[in-house]
Amino acid sequence: DDAYIRAKFNDSMEPFLLQLKKRFTMYEAGYFLPLGSKHSMRIYELLKMREDISILRMTVEELRDILGVTDSYEYFSQLKAHVIENARKEIREKTDIHFTYDVEREGRTAKRIKFFIHQGEEERPEKPKMEDRTEAPNIDVMDVFLSDLTQEQIDALSQERLDKLHERAAQQAEQEVPNRSKSVKQSVTLQRMKTLWDNLQ
pLDDT band at 16 (very low <50, low <70, confident <90, very high): low
User: What is the per-residue pLDDT across 165-201, written as a single tens digit (0 to 9) for each?
Assistant: 889 989 998 898 888 777 778 888 888 888 888 887 7
How many domains would you assign to the chain? Answer: 2
Co-location of 37 and 103 in the same domain:
yes
pTM value is: 0.53
CATH code of the domain in which 38 resides: 1.10.10.10
**One domain for residues 37 and 61:** yes
Q: Please measure the distance between the N-terminal and C-terminal CA atoms of the chain and give it in whole angstroms.
A: 57
pLDDT in tens, 123-173: 544 443 333 333 444 456 777 777 777 767 777 777 788 888 889 989 998
Q: How many residues does the chain have?
A: 201
CB 48 within 8 A of CB 97: yes
Same domain, 33 and 120: yes
Q: Are residues 109 and 161 in the same domain?
A: no
Radius of gyration of the chain (CA): 21
Q: What is the extent of the structural domain holding 174?
A: 130-201
